Amino acid sequence: MARVAAIDCGTNSIRLLVADVTASDDGSRWLRDVHREMRVVRLGQGVDATGALHPEALARTRAALVDYAAVLRRKGAERVRMVATSATRDASNRDDFFGMTEEVLGQAAEVISGDEEAALSFTGAVADLEAEDGPFLVSDVGGGSTEIVLGGWDGVVGSVEAARSVDIGCVRLTERHLHDDPPGAAQVEDAVATAKAVLRQAFDHVPVERARTWIGVAGTVTTLVALAKELDAYRPDEIHLARLPVARIQEITERLLVMPHDERAALGAMHPGRVDVICGGAIVVRAIAEHLAERAGITELVASEHDILDGIAFSQAIGG
């Protein structure tokens, strides 16, 4: 057994998991959470428009990392792996970010490819599912990118058959199209068209019609499930493995798109950092839902609280 730490730095949030990972002789692995935390730092603020990380975004991320480093020392993490995704891949001043992470953590964050990001998300997402429910289609809607992954799970090892990462997510779509609050009909129409066009690049590569079960991970999906269950506060235990019909996804998306900011913020399960970008994320999730209903006959989403963060932790069970 090893105590490992995983840090996932995305376009919208930075998350920490400290966990004990056990690997058995048959290759199976499992996690026991020691500490799990999320901060919304909006690292990708303005990247789509300017091509550079904003100084304020870097400062917010640094402050979160300083706190995380203190947690790592306090919890006695033996190994740490920090993964940086879409916003840092695209930024012209990425060296400022990596220099900061090395200074704070003692090691630089890794930039991973979209394919590796997809594989890690898949591993984290399927570990609590029954093998016979596969093949699985995992969607990970982040701030700047979305991963679509098809694969199987035999109860021990996940196998990715096809994966594609595309440059669309809740922050990127919001900054591109949803300028008013609530957005006007023309803005929504443009956002929907962009989401479908970009996602088509993934759907043309990944044979989604082979999937039997759709698993959605990350904050947009889990927030939509919390809203569907009308929770007065965000409770992960009630969200993990909950099922959400496609028709309900469409209904909640339409409801969010006509809500002003203050009304969205007042929803009990809404994280303050998601209020401004939840509409963009919901449009992406709805586009995926409608495509899967048409192409694969899938009529519901299974939400997973476990995602790339858990995949990063699992990857350290064998030291890499």
Q: Give the pLDDT confidence of 53-99 residue by residue, as tens digits.
A: 999 999 999 999 999 999 999 999 999 999 987 668 778 998 999 99
Is 90 exceeded by the pLDDT of residue 129? no
Residue 315 domain flag:
no
Would you give the DSSP letter of residue 96?
A: H
CATH number of the structural domain spanning residue 33: 3.30.420.40
Residue 296: phi and psi, rounded to 5, are -120, -5
Residue 122 domain flag:
no
The reply to whether 172 and 253 lie within a common domain is: yes
Would you give the DSSP letter of residue 310?
A: H
pLDDT for the residue 319: 47
The reply to whether 136 and 94 lie within a common domain is: no
Q: Does 148 or 23 have the greater pLDDT score?
A: 148
pLDDT for the residue 318: 53
> How would you class 298 by CB atoms within 10 Å of its CB: exposed for 0-12, middle for 13-18, buried for 19 or more?
buried
The reply to whether 142 and 105 lie within a common domain is: no
87 within 8 A of 53, measured Cβ to Cβ = yes
The reply to whether 91 and 171 lie within a common domain is: no
pLDDT in tens, 31-51: 888 999 999 898 888 887 888
Query: What is the side-by-side strand order in the sheet with 213-217?
Result: 158-166, 146-153, 136-141, 213-217, 300-304, 243-245
The amino acid that residue 258 corresponds to is: V
> How would you class 179 by CB atoms within 10 Å of its CB: exposed for 0-12, middle for 13-18, buried for 19 or more?
exposed
169 contacts: CB under 8 Å, gap ≥ 6: 11, 12, 86, 141, 142, 143, 144, 145, 146, 280, 281, 284
CA-based torsion, 84, 284, 268, 272: positive or negative: positive
Q: Is the pTM of this model over 0.95?
A: no
Q: How many structural domains does the chain have?
A: 2
Looking at residues 106-121, what average pLDDT do you find? 82
Q: How confident is the model at residue 123 (pLDDT cuts 50, 70, 90)?
A: confident
Q: Does 60 or 127 have the greater pLDDT score?
A: 60
Assign 313 to helix, strand or coil: helix
Would you give the DSSP letter of residue 38?
A: E
Q: What is the mean pLDDT of the chain?
A: 90
Residue 319 domain flag:
no
Residue matched to tokens 């499930």: 225
Looking at residues 181-191, what average pLDDT do you find? 96
Q: Does 307 or 259 have the greater pLDDT score?
A: 259
Residue 318 domain flag:
no
Structure token pair of residue 237? 């235990």
Residue 254 domain flag:
yes
The amino acid that residue 80 corresponds to is: V
Q: Does 90 or 142 have the greater pLDDT score?
A: 142
Give the domain extent around 105. Answer: 2-114
Q: Could you give the angle at the alpha carbon of 12 between the alpha carbons of 94 and 149, nearest 5°?
A: 95
Structure token pair of residue 263? 């009304």
Looking at residues 101-123, what average pLDDT do you find? 85
pLDDT for the residue 153: 83
Q: How confident is the model at residue 119 (pLDDT cuts 50, 70, 90)?
A: confident
Cis link prior to 183 (omega < 30° from 0)? no
The reply to whether 76 and 146 lie within a common domain is: no
Is 90 exceeded by the pLDDT of residue 173? yes
> How would you class 309 by CB atoms within 10 Å of its CB: exposed for 0-12, middle for 13-18, buried for 19 or more?
buried
Residue 119 domain flag:
no
Residue 314 domain flag:
no
The reply to whether 144 and 260 lie within a common domain is: yes
The reply to whether 291 and 183 lie within a common domain is: yes
The reply to whether 98 and 174 lie within a common domain is: no
Looking at residues 292-318, what average pLDDT do you find? 88
Would you give the DSSP letter of residue 266?
A: T
Looking at residues 242-269, what average pLDDT do you find? 95
The reply to whether 96 and 144 lie within a common domain is: no
Helical H runs in 204-277? 219-228, 236-239, 246-257, 261-265
Is 50 exceeded by the pLDDT of residue 320? no
Residue 146 domain flag:
yes
Looking at residues 287-308, what average pLDDT do you find? 93
Closest CA to 37 of 80, 78, 5, 11: 5
